Amino acid sequence: MKLDLDFDKKREIPVGDSGRVRFRFRDIAVEPGKAVSLKKDFDPDFTGGYDDKEGALEKVAANVERLSAMQEILYAQDNYALLIIFQAMDAAGKDGAIRHVMSGINPQGCQVTSFKAPSAEDLDYGYLWRASKAVPGRGMIGIFNRSYYEDVLVVRVHPELLEKQKLPPSAHKADIFQKRFKEINNFEKYLRQNGTIVLKFFLNVSKNEQKKRFLARIEEPEKNWKFSPADYAERKYWDSYQTAFEDMLENTSTEWAPWFVIPADNKWFARLAVSEVISAAFERLDLRMPEVSKARKNELMQIRRQLLDEEDE
């Protein structure tokens, strides 16, 4: 099934004043059904040979302006919603990417939800419950900072978390994560078919760059608050996480909800790539201001006349 958001993988993205081509969607999009090797297929340090950080950030700012204008139409049209999901290892730059890319958007049109370890109440329901309560309504942009994908990532790396989910014995089979991939694909298809565009970003940071960022968080006092010993503990499971991410990408990148692997060792490039994908997705929607009917136009003109007839006080 092809939906209208089937990105043209050959799309080339010119960056900076020279307009020279720097990267293509096919460099970052995960082809549905294709095996993924993060090591071989995606370089965290990739910038398409581009090193004009300033130029890139100008492009991000221009994209943000376009996004803001398009969000207004999204709101007025009231047919579509946009759900943007971020997943990553710690210190990959999720928070910064979210902050930069959404900076110009009307706060009333945009909502960020962070998914932490599930509460006791969350655990009384299936793993999609808390996410379905948080999906954006028509006209809105919703951002998930982590998501139900944690249930095929951290829960897979730490099987004891699965025990806490109080599942019936029939669900506790070796194929539980394969089943979850299918459930997630179906959930996202349902969202898409009912007007919610789903875009998913995996911020791909290298192990070395994570080490550098952790060290900076320890050595620079103003960054101390960002460091959590728990993040260091998770680093020890790096390889298991990479495997879980690969399996997730391979099984849940679909035509209706594609994954993008965003090179994240250079924050400026990550922000540029994310803002480009979101702008491109918006462009492909048939966003239109709602048409004003004749009757409504007449009504407006009548009110206008009445206002003009009023005596000034």
Q: Residue 84 CA to chain centroid, in angstroms? A: 3
Pick 117 or 301: Cβ nearer ligand ATP: 117
Q: How far is the CB of 231 from Mg ion (least distance, A)?
A: 5
Q: Residue 190 CA to chain centroid, in angstroms? A: 18
> Is residue 146 at the binding interface for ligand ATP, with CB under 6 A as the rule?
yes
- The site partner of 247 among ligand ATP, Mg ion, none (C-beta below 5 to 8 Å per kind) is none
> Is residue 139 at the binding interface for ligand ATP, with CB under 6 A as the rule?
no
Q: Which stretch binds ligand ATP (CB under 6 A): 74-82, 101-109, 151-159, 217-225?
A: 151-159
Residue 80-119 contact track with ligand ATP, rule CB under 6 A, x = bound: ----------x----x------------------xxxxx-
Q: How far is the CB of 75 from Mg ion (least distance, A)?
A: 32
Q: Which stretch binds Mg ion (CB under 5 A): 38-46, 89-97, 217-225, 236-244?
A: 89-97
Q: How far is the CB of 249 from ligand ATP (least distance, A)?
A: 17
Distances (CA, A) of 198 to 57, 63, 64, 84, 184: 25, 19, 18, 6, 12
> Is residue 183 at the binding interface for ligand ATP, with CB under 6 A as the rule?
no
Q: Which stretch binds Mg ion (CB under 5 A): 88-96, 130-138, 182-190, 282-290?
A: 88-96
d(CA 56, CA 123): 43
User: Residues interacting with ligand ATP, by CB under 6 A?
Assistant: 90, 95, 114-118, 145-146, 150-151, 154-155, 161, 228
